[in-house]
Structure 1
Amino acid sequence: MTSIKILGTGCKKCIRLKENVEAALKEMRVEADVQKVEDINEIVQFGVMSTPALVIDGEVKIVGKVASPEEIMAVLPH
């Protein structure tokens, strides 16, 4: 199963990114383990300095913006 982490401190942009991830997964009919990471120390371990960020299967895919569901679908494993 795909592992997805949304990195951010809980701001509106982070919440919006999580909603867009869920919309992308639903449209693609893909199940994934989606986690919200708000611990700044864990976020820094990914080398991310700007949030929100999207991590898929341990790899940082999108940083510093709220990606649209279409952008998320483009980086999700098929």
Structure 2
Amino acid sequence: MTEVLVLGPGCSKCKETYRVVERVIAENHLDVKLSKIEDIAEMMSYNIMTTPAVVVDGTVKIKGHVPTADEVKKALGI
């Protein structure tokens, strides 16, 4: 199972990023564990300076903007 994390402090862009990722997962019937990380210390462990960020299996794939559905699909390898 793939693990996807959306990193962000809870701003509107972070919430929208979570919705985009959630929608891609649902529309493609993917076996993915999706979590949201709002803890600053945990976010910093990924060496990101801008949020929102999308982490797939421990690797930062998208950061600094709300991704499109196509960007999320590419990050997930579909």
Shorter-chain TM-score category?
Answer: over 0.9
Query: What's the C-alpha RMSD, in Å, of the aligned pairs?
Result: 0.9
Q: Secondary structure at the match of 2:62?
A: strand
Residue of structure 2 equivalent to 1:74 = 74
Alpha-carbon separation, structure 2, partners of 1:48 and 1:18: 17
Please state if 1:59 is matched with 2:59: yes
Number of positions where the alignment pairs a residue of Structure 1 with one of Structure 2: 78
Task: Tell me the SS of whatever aligns to 1:3.
Answer: strand
TM (normalized to structure 1)? 0.94
Identity of aligned residues (%): 38
- SS of 1:36's partner is strand
List alignment gaps of at least 5 residues for structure 1.
none
Separation in 1, partners of 2:65, 2:73: 15
**1:17-43 per-position Cα deviation (integer Å, ceiling 9, x unaligned):** 000001111222102111100010111
- Following TM superposition, where does structure 1 have runs of at least 4 consecutive aligned residues deviating by more than 3 angstroms? none
Report the Cα distance in structure 2 between the residues aligned to 1:23 and 1:9, rounded to whole angstroms. Answer: 20
